[in-house]
Structure 1
């Protein structure tokens, strides 16, 4: 039996249409938003607008707030301090609410084709890779890269 698959996608420098196109092209059924704050200055990527656009495309939306990066982790990511991001995010994943959310995500990804969404375009530099390694270690990863819209 082959390993289950989890997809990831970042929307940095992408348009909403290119993100939805990449998700549909991969056959993703559920977008798991793993941002602590599902807000964005980029048009269409705040929680309500994103959920609505995904619904129109036939993709479900679930927000996993507890799996997002806390403020100090986001600051470390912006400073390109990956070691600090790893340390801070590891602490986040030890919280009871993150453990429960991780179990929900794991169960969902066993049943549906799920993609993890965050802002950072490069998956290796994003907490979504740390999340996948910690909570979905048996899943094969496919990092989607939507076409740049900037």
Structure 2
């Protein structure tokens, strides 16, 4: 049985060309955006612009809004920096959105899949929780690699 790998990436501190080159280095075919609101003040990282750039590079862009962290828990994190609460609340949110988790899991069988969000460090980002939930759902030793 083939062992699959799920990649994750944050674009904080990266320019769009560097970001895209990183995806290409790892042969990414599907980029799953797990931001609730896929807008960015950073040039090239808003949904439509990023989607077109990736299409030009033969990478499919998919926005999975249900996997985004809800504004209520994001705003609380910004006010008190309580990551323990943030990750607990987000995990509860994610458990109510298993259809989106299953959808992302299916992309693993179609090519190299990468989950993206803003934060550079996965231990400070909800994408690590998403990746862990997909690994749990997979049940076959899915490897997670943060690029």
Residue pair 2:10, 2:121 contacting (<8 A) in 1 also: yes
Structure 1 CA distance, aligned partners of 2:47 and 2:81? 26
| Structure 1 residue runs of 4 or more that deviate by more than 4 Å after TM superposition | none
Residue in 2 aligned with 1:147? Answer: none
Q: Name the SS for the 2:108 alignment partner.
A: helix
Residue in 1 aligned with 2:16? Answer: 16
Residues matched between the structures, number:
142
Residue pair 2:30, 2:59 contacting (<8 A) in 1 also: yes
Give the direction of change, closer, same or farther, for the CA distance of 1:77–1:132 in structure 2 (3 Å limit). Answer: farther
Aligned residues: CA RMSD: 1.4
Deviations 1:117-140 (A, max 9, x none): 000000111101011111223321
Residue in 1 aligned with 2:53? Answer: 53
TM, length-normalised to structure 1: 0.88
Residue in 2 aligned with 1:92? Answer: 93
Structure 2 CA distance, aligned partners of 1:33 and 1:65? 8
Residue pair 2:29, 2:58 contacting (<8 A) in 1 also: yes
Residue pair 2:6, 2:113 contacting (<8 A) in 1 also: yes
Structure 2 CA distance, aligned partners of 1:76 and 1:84? 9
Residue in 1 aligned with 2:81? Answer: 80
Aligned counterpart in structure 2 of residue 142 of structure 1, from 127, 142, 145 = 145
Structure 1 CA distance, aligned partners of 2:3 and 2:77? 30
Structure 2 CA distance, aligned partners of 1:133 and 1:76? 23
TM, length-normalised to structure 2: 0.90
Q: Name the SS for the 1:136 alignment partner.
A: helix
Residue in 1 aligned with 2:37? Answer: 37
Shift of residue 19 of structure 1? 0.6
Gaps in structure 2 of 5+ consecutive residues: none
Residue in 2 aligned with 1:148? Answer: none
Residue pair 1:34, 1:116 contacting (<8 A) in 2 also: yes
